[in-house]
Amino acid sequence: MKLLRYGPAGQEKPGLLDANGQVRDLSEHIADLAGDALLPGSIEKLGLINPDSLPLVAGEAQKDLRLGPCVGNVGKFICIGLNYADHAAEAGMDIPSEPVIFNKWTSAIVGPDDDIQVPRNSRKTDWEVELGVIIGQGGSYIEEADALSHIAGFCVVNDVSEREFQIERAGTWDKGKGCDTFGPIGPWLVTPDEVGDFDDLKMWLDVDGKRYQDGSTATMVYKIPHLIAYCSQFMSLQPGDVISTGTPPGVGMGQNPQVYLHGGEVVKLGIEGLGIQTQNVQGG
């Protein structure tokens, strides 16, 4: 299934995408695509619904019908750094001996086609296409062998990053990662049965029509079951938490000369089977 949230910002309703690419309303079945609605039993029940029995929503998704973040009320937005061997090489950094964990503040979360706002005084706003994992069944100290049963679905994430804030100013990476609008999520939550081999998904990102990132989840260093198990050692994972699993090479910081977003650009990105995001960049 492709599950989604549609409507004005802050007033999104739950829905699904039917086989004809039309949005169907799920409001009679769940209040939101969040929390307990993401538990395995709930997802299973949603999968038994005949989409044709659901009310048809007017408009075309991502054209005249806005899509919000594909999961609501996110408790934790966890990110993994330097998790692609070829991206670590481009950054001139060693592959970490353990996964690097940082956070994006949940106030950064926006819909897949909402604008990116360059922060005030920013000089180095960058992009990163990433595979997002949305937790269904929560838990602590999850065994790697059981980790896949804790996934509600997958999605596209743009881990927008301000590199000067992140790297050149005192403190942790977090201050360059969690600015408002720095976390577009969606367009849909795709359930694992529909994703296929998530260890070999093509992923790409364009800025103003130029392809910068053209990679695959195949070069991920720490795979998804390991990341879920690893993160759960340090925090309880809960339904609706998002883990963004790293980016392939081609970020602006890795260009020679470096390329950054200042306002006026259009960023377009996607992952095989998980949909496409398009963002207009607004200057700081």
Confidence band of 95 (pLDDT split at 50, 70, 90): confident
Residue tagged 């939550």 (tokens): 189
What is the DSSP-derived secondary structure letter of residue 128?
A: -
Confidence band of 90 (pLDDT split at 50, 70, 90): confident
Are the C-beta atoms of residues 139 and 232 closer than 8 Å to each other?
yes
- The answer, yes or no, to whether residue 87 has pLDDT greater than 90, is no
Q: What is the pLDDT, as a whole number, of residue 39?
A: 98
In a domain, 182, yes or no: yes
In angstroms, the CA 148 to CA 90 distance is 30
In angstroms, the CA 177 to CA 102 distance is 9
In a domain, 4, yes or no: no
**Percentage of the chain exceeding pLDDT 70:** 100
User: Is the pTM here over 0.85, yes or no?
Assistant: yes
How many CA atoms does the CB half-sphere of 113 hold within 13 Å?
16
List the 23-25 sheet strands across, edge first.
Answer: 23-25, 13-17, 2-6, 189-190, 151-158, 129-135, 242-244, 77-81, 100-103
In a domain, 135, yes or no: yes
In a domain, 112, yes or no: yes
In a domain, 26, yes or no: no
In angstroms, the CA 239 to CA 270 distance is 24
Q: Which regions of the chain does DSSP assign to beta strands (E)?
A: 2-6, 13-17, 23-25, 77-81, 100-103, 109-110, 116-117, 125-126, 129-135, 151-158, 161-162, 183-184, 189-190, 202-207, 210-216, 242-244, 266-271, 275-282
Length of the chain: 284
Confidence band of 174 (pLDDT split at 50, 70, 90): confident
In a domain, 278, yes or no: yes
Token representation of residue 157: 């994430």
> Which tens digit of pLDDT belongs to each residue from 113-158?
999 999 999 999 999 999 999 999 999 999 999 999 999 999 999 9
Q: What is the pLDDT, as a whole number, of residue 96?
A: 85
Taking the mean position of all CA atoms in its chain, how far away is CA 61?
A: 18
In angstroms, the CA 228 to CA 132 distance is 12
Confidence band of 22 (pLDDT split at 50, 70, 90): very high
Look up the CATH number of the domain holding residue 147: 3.90.850.10
In a domain, 219, yes or no: yes
Q: Which regions of 88-128 does DSSP assign to beta strands (E)?
A: 100-103, 109-110, 116-117, 125-126
Token representation of residue 116: 């990116």
In a domain, 45, yes or no: no
Q: Which of 158, 61, 53 has its CA nearest to residue 116?
A: 158
Residue tagged 């939101």 (tokens): 32
Q: Which of 166, 154, 129 has its CA nearest to residue 247?
A: 129
Confidence band of 249 (pLDDT split at 50, 70, 90): very high
Q: What is the total count of domains within the chain?
A: 1
> Which tens digit of pLDDT belongs to each residue from 69-84?
999 999 999 999 989 8
Q: Which domain covers residue 260, as residue numbers? A: 69-282
Over the chain, what is the mean pLDDT?
Answer: 95
Residues sharing a CB contact under 8 Å with residue 166, sequence separation 6 or more, in sequence order: 173, 175, 176, 177
